[in-house]
Amino acid sequence: MALTLDDVLRIAHLARIDIDAAAAREVHAKLDAIFTLINELQAIDTTGIEPMSHAQDVSAPLRDDAITESDHHADYQRGAPAVEDGLYLVPRVIE
Amino acid sequence: MIDGTIAELAQALHARRISSEELTSEALARIERAQSRFNAFITIDRDGALAAARAADAALRKGDGGPLTGIPLAHKDVLMTAGLNTTCGSRMLADFVAPYDAFVVEQLRKAGTVLVGKTNMDEFAMGSSSETSWFGPVRNPWDPAYVPGGSSGGSAVAVAARLVPAATGTDTGGSIRQPAALTGICGLKPTYGACSRYGLVAFASSLDHPGPFGRTAEDCALLLRAMAGHDPRDSTSIDRPPEDYAQLLREPRAAKVLEGLRIGLPKEFHGEGVDAEVAAAVEAAIAELQKLGATLKTISLPAVKYSVPVYYVIAPAEASSNLSRFDGVRYGHRANDFKDLLDMYKKTRAEGFGAEVKRRILTGTYVLSHGYYDAYYLKAQQVRRLIADDFRRAYGECDVIVGPTAPSAAFKIGAKTDDPVQMYLNDIFTIAADLTGAPAISIPCGVTRDGLPIGLQIQGNHFDEARILDVAHRYQQATDWHQRVPPIEHASKSS
């Protein structure tokens, strides 16, 4: 499963990271070495092994469906690049 | 005075032989002087620290202090600190002021510690050398031409260079233990779920562990006691009764203080790939533990050799998801020039993240993308289970597992920056404990001919922190590696 330069451009788009052709070639070489390491896993027989998604096999705790938080939105929006009237501003998406 | 351990400083503070304000002023003076040499800090909070120190002194005067009251400490800059910058060593968050405290920060504030500043680190905790920070590399106080390890390099250096007696870090693949080893101090990664991840800026949620750095195992025990605890704001936080991790350490013992302890020596950790000087120091430490009464048993962890590839699927997969929140909308950097929303996302992220963070996001995006999920992500999770099963079997035969923390001592700044895979292999002995979630500590056990520290790793079963701390403590009672001080002007040798 070798990674191609087209794969690099495709995943950079999926990851929303701008990348030019020269940078993509450099990243490709490094990712190729990383995937050579990762591909060692393909040799292992894992038939019937339950995937381990967490360090502890604990079930998700439940709590009462009650409001526990107070309103912090002004605090949390203080670090936003552009805010107006309590709303986050983004470039126009609907003409 | 500040060169003392937390335990010693607490005695002096409670006896009013010294005030927290005096200690904190000395810490701040050292931090400011050392900054140009080691670059251990990103933010220094002089005013906040002195105010907290005066509050601690008032509590001590009233007789209200605990074992950490008035102790100056630094937090890794991935832990949120209300009202203070929390940058994660990234341009993305270079100006981000945390709106609230992380759980462990809150706990340590409640315990009366004095926050002096935020420490430098590999960007978003992704690295093993503390070189990838937007704020420049951290340098090792034993020799500034060398890296201090990473990703919590700034915290490790702050303690090793005797700038503060204690610091926090986070460990996802070895980011507490490996820098502890490379700077000659103690660093503990607790059991997953023992310390809440609330307010720890997420890298890989199933692997991120907050933990303490100290000069001694006893200090780590005191810090962990304050940092641990159940927190409903982290769904993986474990609800269990509070534990005094230092209690076992104070227990009087017969001459053979480790009598009955079974030490497992995995043949996979003691062979090829370990630098000869590291191997010799670890052998000597094991002989010392045996002298203290422990018995040795060779064990095998056959799947552990896959730890690094498993980690470099799972950690990037989780990172690609966690770091998708940095989009230039809600917080952090936003690009100046863009043509539309998609272009804003892409340019913001291209500018805000450094090369290693981008590589990991791309790796993670690929292994989670359509058609590759089973071959990579699911496969890695299955091998993670095989590794955990190996450890479960091993703990049927032994109580702790001992070996080197890192395959070599510190390397030179720049030596591995162009070869990510070589960098990743630094964590070959530490990653497994992050995958299984079991606790592990690194303590100093020697120095190389070049005068660089060597770390010994002691791993235990889930929630067996008290036992590994006890083994480390008993070793430190019999040896003096933890008392070695780097060649810096202000520090003096003390117990």
Q: Are B466 and B490 in contact (CB under 8 A)?
A: no
DSSP B70-113: T-EEEEETTB--TTSB--TTSGGGTTPBPSS--HHHHHHHHTT-
How many whole angstroms separate alpha carbon B465 and alpha carbon B471? 10
Quote the pLDDT of residue B273. 85
Amino acid at B77: D
How many whole angstroms separate alpha carbon B50 and alpha carbon B277? 43
How many whole angstroms separate alpha carbon B230 and alpha carbon B233? 9
CB contact under 8 A, A31 and B359: yes
- Per-residue pLDDT tens over the stretch B22-79: 999 999 999 999 999 999 999 999 999 999 999 999 999 999 999 999 999 999 999 9
Give the nearest partner residue to A38 out of B313, B341, B381, using CB atoms: B313
- Per-residue pLDDT tens over the stretch B352-379: 999 999 999 999 999 999 899 999 999 9
Quote the pLDDT of residue A1. 59
| A72 close to B (CB below 8 A) | yes
- Specify the residue for token string 């040795």: B296
CB contact under 8 A, B99 and A31: no
Quote the pLDDT of residue B25. 98
Tokens, residue B299: 């064990």
Beta bridge partners of B277: none
How many whole angstroms separate alpha carbon B189 and alpha carbon B192? 8
CA angle (B220 as vertex; B219, B225 as ends), nearest 5: 100
Q: Which of B432, B430, B434 is nearest to B442 (CA)?
A: B430
CB contact under 8 A, A31 and B362: yes
Domain boundaries, chain B: 6-257
| Answer CATH for B6-257 from 3.90.1300.10, 3.30.1510.10, 3.40.50.720, 3.30.310.80 | 3.90.1300.10
Quote the pLDDT of residue A2. 81
Quote the pLDDT of residue B495. 37
Q: Could you count the other beta carbons within 10 Å of the beta carbon of residue A33?
A: 14
Helical packing angle, B6-14 and B217-227, nearest 10°: 70
DSSP label at residue A93? -
Residues 6+ positions from B76 with CB-CB distance below 8 Å: B118, B119, B121, B125, B152, B154, B155, B167, B168, B169, B170
Residues 6+ positions from B258 with CB-CB distance below 8 Å: B289, B292, B293, B294, B471, B474
CA distance, residue B16 to nearest chain A CA (Å): 39
Sites in chain B below the pLDDT cut of 50: 492-495
Top residue of B86, B88, B91, B366 to mutate, by most chain A CBs within 10 Å, is B366
Q: Are B173 and B137 in contact (CB under 8 A)?
A: no
On the 0-12 / 13-18 / 19+ scale of CB atoms within 10 A, B118 is buried
CA distance, residue A91 to nearest chain B CA (Å): 5
